Amino acid sequence: MKLHEIQSTWLQQLEGERGLAELTIKNYQRLTGADLAQLERQGVEQASQLTRPLFERLLVGWRREGLGERSIALKLSAWRTFVHYMLDYQHLSDDPLSGLKAPKIPKRLPKNLDVDSISHLLELPLDDELAIRDSAMMELLYSSGLRLAELVSLDMDSIDLRYGQLRVLGKGSKTRIVPVGKVAIKAIQRWLKIRANWLGARPEVALFISQRNQRISQRTVQQRLNYWGKQQGVVGNLHPHKLRHSFASHMLESSGDLRAVQELLGHANLSTTQVYTHLDFKRLAEVYDSAHPRATKGKKSS
């Protein structure tokens, strides 16, 4: 059976047995088809002719064609799926792609908003209860660089408004203590009054709740931020990570203290029993107060 015939049965198997979407199957066909045609022109028609050096030459050819790292990685991924099929159905005895690594794809950081754009974005109306809640969430996301999951998991006892501190449960159940700016504290205080009115006597530990008086969902936060992004004229979709990335960028630009920003974001390898390492909270608070655009400079009033 020739390679193009094996490809045909492979694509049929993807559709019939694995139930992949039609678009996915067409992508597999496109990603491998041009190479198969080229190989056949070179006299490579049997699966047994597929070798590691042959794929290395294909890889060089892809680069010469000007394909980017992401496109090359997609091609290799499609070929790996095809090769695994040929191994499973005994068209091949050895994996010619074994040890052939895909190029590393650089992570794309979301574009951050500048300080003026953030200030305009966060100027929400204070005569609407939902806007007051959303303002508190957005201020806190930007104030403390929280992840979306961290924001929605906050409880009432997570925040100390008097001392401007927030206890955050991050990835891997790692806890960290981060400062909260004065602007965010005022926004949260406004929200707490609304929250109390919504709940009445009903018990609820979540800091941020929906109109159903339940812990707010990640999906709702995403929808609300996207709504306000459009209302305030932010270019592109506004999502929680854009506020987190803006926080990190502005802090780093102003302070130049990469280690402190790393601590604030929770990127350090912290254990679940430690709330901070290397830098104590006082140092974090000093960097925060001196660098964050919405932190109030100077001593706290008693």
Q: Could you confirm whether 4 is annotated as catalytic?
A: no
Q: Could you confirm whether 91 is annotated as catalytic?
A: no
Q: Choosing from 219, 267, 278, 300, which is the catalytic residue?
A: 267
Contacts of 138 (CB under 8 A, 6+ apart): 121, 122, 124, 225, 228, 243
What single letter denotes the amino acid at residue 208?
F
DSSP 31-71: HHHHHHHHHHHTT--BGGG--HHHHHHHHHHHHHTT--HHH
Q: Could you confirm whether 278 is annotated as catalytic?
A: no
Q: Could you confirm whether 63 is annotated as catalytic?
A: no
Q: Could you confirm whether 276 is annotated as catalytic?
A: yes
Q: Which two tokens stand for residue 120?
A: 């305009």
Q: Choosing from 193, 230, 241, 259, which is the catalytic residue?
A: 241
Q: Choosing from 2, 57, 111, 171, which is the catalytic residue?
A: 171
Q: Which two tokens stand for residue 166?
A: 């927030």
Q: Could you confirm whether 89 is annotated as catalytic?
A: no
Interhelix angle for 240-255 vs 281-291, to 10°? 90
Q: Choosing from 91, 147, 182, 224, which is the catalytic residue?
A: 147
User: CA-to-CA distance for 138 and 40, rounded, in angstroms?
Assistant: 57
Give me the active site residues, please: 147, 171, 241, 244, 267, 276
